[in-house]
Chain A
Amino acid sequence: GAGVSQSPSNKVTEKGKDVELRCDPISGHTALYWYRQSLGQGLEFLIYFQGNSAPDKSGLPSDRFSAERTGGSVSTLTIQRTQQEDSAVYLCASSLRGLFTEAFFGQGTRLTVV
């Protein structure tokens, strides 16, 4: 595709439910990142995938959060047993070679936990 695609664009879920957020990176990009943007808090790094290397999960806030990347392309961020504090915009980005090359961001998924 022409850019990074994220789905759904909006998700409302009940507290305690699991959610899956999807990211389709730009074709050929080997690196993929997930960030979380909360109101007035900037972007919080969650996880980084680069090629076939083990992902950098150092930003995941709890073990309720996990992510995978299948076939070096599509990525899914899963949040289990959602809490109200998980409400935020989840942004995905991809880049051609990894760190220090331009990261292209998707429009994000706005998650609201009620």
Chain B
Amino acid sequence: AQSVTQPDIHITVSEGASLELRCNYSYGATPYLFWYVQSPGQGLQLLLKYFSGDTLVQGIKGFEAEFKRSQSSFNLRKPSVHWSDAAEYFCAVGEGNTPLVFGKGTRLSVIA
């Protein structure tokens, strides 16, 4: 069965520090990969997506993610976190004509 795993439920980082949020998936073929962010009281916003081509994709707000087929991973990174990045982050995966499957999310806290 298709599945998406975000191993970290909650991460706390200092402002200005680097960030990496993990996402692993279990799919048969080449999936389509997304990262969404949900700020408190806000809807989900797309950060970036990968369909094919260059495995390092750039997104909004300074985020990037790297697709690693050998590791079945699509980790989200940011070199320097800002306090406004505190939010819930969701990895999502799709394949063929199936709707997106979301991970359970990682809550990011940013401290001064």
Contact = CB atoms under 8 A, between A and B. Distances in A.
A48 B43 contact: no
Interface in B18-38: 32, 36
Contacts of B98: 99
B99 A56 contact: yes
B56 interface: no
B92 to A, nearest CB: 8
Interface residues of B, number: 23
20 contacts: A4-B43, A33-B99, A33-B100, A41-B104, A42-B90, A43-B102, A45-B101, A45-B102, A48-B99, A56-B99, A93-B44, A99-B94, A99-B97, A99-B100, A100-B32, A100-B94, A105-B36, A105-B44, A107-B43, A108-B43
A40 interface: yes
A79 interface: no
Contacts of A43: 44, 90, 92, 102
A42 B107 CA distance: 11
Contact of B44 (A40, A41, A91): A91
Given A43-B90, A105-B44, A107-B41, 13 more contacts: A33-B99, A35-B102, A40-B104, A42-B102, A42-B103, A42-B105, A45-B100, A48-B99, A56-B99, A91-B43, A99-B98, A103-B100, A105-B36
